């Protein structure tokens, strides 16, 4: 059955429930805070670059950092992550190199996706991070399919799939949930309920009391957590991951959070939500809450905080400088990667291009090619 109570470990003022607190080592707690600051700083800098016209598009995740990082920290290195388009924290926690991340934003020759994806649509096989894609919810059946394969092969791994509240209105969500329940696959569904599917509020997505309760219809457990409380997200996800790994089947985790910034660099949230609502959630900022928690435990001081912020800022500056010196992908890359061995007709097109046949303008060819 779904738990309607909201799991919370750390309160807004940084005080915490010692009985519910995961007993994480101090160095891990500090790394978690550093990653929170990293994601917040990366978002600020990348959105600024987009406004300057230096990158084409960006999806910030201000306010949702704890839900990303707390859940990713509960995984094992061989587990698979299927992100939506607002999970940079999951990748950066896993070890996504900062320069590689920034190169993807530029779509340059060192972008691992070779400029074929939109900016902010990153992926990295080395850390089992599947590709971001724009269609809402399409990653859910992919994650469930991967989890089913893990079960069939006897792999001791788990798949986690991220999505927003808007995705719960998509057929892919219901198809994935139903299949996962029937076949008892090792999949964790992590719904970041950030209140808004672009301009559509969650109240227009469902008449249910929560999103977690939807798991009941598919025969497995749903839980609700304070998504701005990193340790609550970690605890709920760790329990769900351990359960899935031991053969206990899937879990739906609803992390109640808030998107404090725009949906993307193309969005103006002032057109559909009130300033008072944003201010309410600013008082529940997940980065500041975790900072207060560390301070309450005697693990934070301003000098340390200033030092890691400078280190992060300098690293991003260096990554941007590096990315802007890298040329765009070679045009020849258009003909590569689709096949392990290039077939004759693609090779013929490549050779024609290399001879200059595709450099002519249509009017010079006498007719417009199809």
Write out the catalytic residue numbers: 259, 263, 272
Q: Residue 264's closest CA among 10, 55, 103, 90? A: 55
Pairing of strands 251-256, 187-193: parallel
The C-alpha atoms of residue 184 and residue 151 are separated, in whole angstroms, by 9
Q: What is the DSSP string of 184-236?
A: T-SEEEEEEE-SEETTEEGGGT--SS-SGGGGGGGTSEEEEEETT-HHHHHHH
101: nearest Cα among 77, 132, 70: 132
Side-chain-side CA neighbours of 225 within 13 Å: the count stands at 33
DSSP secondary structure string for all residues of 13-33:
TS-B-TTT-----HHHHHHHH
First to last CA, the chain: 57
Task: Report how far residue 161's alpha carbon sits from residue 163's, in angstroms, rounded to the nearest whole number.
Answer: 7
Q: Which residues pair with 197 in a beta bridge?
A: 200
341: number of CA atoms within 13 Å, CB side?
Answer: 1
Question: Angle, nearest 10°, between helix axes 65-72 and 230-245?
Answer: 40
Contact criterion met (CB below 8 Å) for 178 and 189: no
What sign results for the dihedral spanned by CA atoms 106, 107, 109, 112? positive
Rounded to 5°, the CA angle 154-161-79 comes to: 40
Report the alpha-carbon distance of residue 58 to residue 48 in Å, rounded: 9
Contact 143, 160 (CB under 8 A): yes
């Amino acid at each position: 059955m779904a738990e309607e109570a909201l799991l919370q470990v750390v309160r807004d003022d940084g005080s915490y429930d010692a009985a519910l607190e995961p007993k994480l080592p101090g160095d891990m707690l500090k790394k978690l805070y550093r990653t929170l600051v990293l994601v917040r700083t990366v978002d600020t800098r990348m959105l600024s670059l987009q406004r300057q016209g230096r990158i084409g598009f960006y999806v910030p995740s201000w306010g949702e950092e704890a839900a990303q990082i707390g859940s990713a920290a509960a995984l094992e290195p061989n587990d698979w992550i299927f992100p939506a388009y607002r999970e940079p924290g999951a990748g950066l926690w896993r070890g996504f190199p900062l320069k590689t991340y920034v190169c993807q934003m530029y779509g340059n020759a060192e972008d691992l996706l070779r400029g074929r994806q939109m900016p902010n649509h990153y992926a990295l096989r080395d850390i089992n991070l599947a590709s971001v894609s724009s269609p809402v919810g399409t990653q859910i059946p992919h994650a469930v399919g991967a989890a089913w394969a893990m079960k069939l092969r006897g792999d001791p791994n788990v798949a986690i799939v991220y999505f927003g509240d808007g995705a719960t209105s998509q057929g892919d969500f219901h198809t994935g949930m139903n299949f996962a329940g029937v076949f008892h696959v090792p999949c964790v569904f992590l719904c970041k309920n950030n209140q808004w599917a672009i301009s559509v509020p969650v109240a227009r997505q469902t008449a249910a009391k929560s999103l977690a309760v939807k798991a009941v219809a598919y025969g497995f457990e749903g839980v609700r957590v304070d998504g701005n409380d990193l340790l609550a997200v970690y605890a709920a996800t760790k329990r769900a991951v351990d359960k899935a790994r031991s053969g206990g089947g899937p879990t739906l985790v609803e992390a109640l959070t808030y998107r404090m910034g725009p949906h993307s660099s193309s969005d103006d949230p002032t057109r559909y939500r009130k300033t008072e609502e944003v201010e309410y959630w600013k008082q529940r900022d997940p980065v500041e809450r975790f900072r207060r928690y560390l301070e309450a435990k005697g693990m934070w001081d301003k000098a340390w905080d200033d030092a890691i912020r400078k280190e992060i800022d300098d690293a991003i500056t260096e990554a941007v400088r590096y990315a802007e010196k890298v040329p765009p992908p070679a045009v020849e890359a258009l003909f590569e990667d689709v096949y392990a061995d290039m077939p004759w007709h693609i090779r013929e097109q490549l050779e024609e291009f290399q001879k200059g046949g595709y450099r002519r303008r249509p009017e010079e060819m006498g007719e417009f090619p199809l």
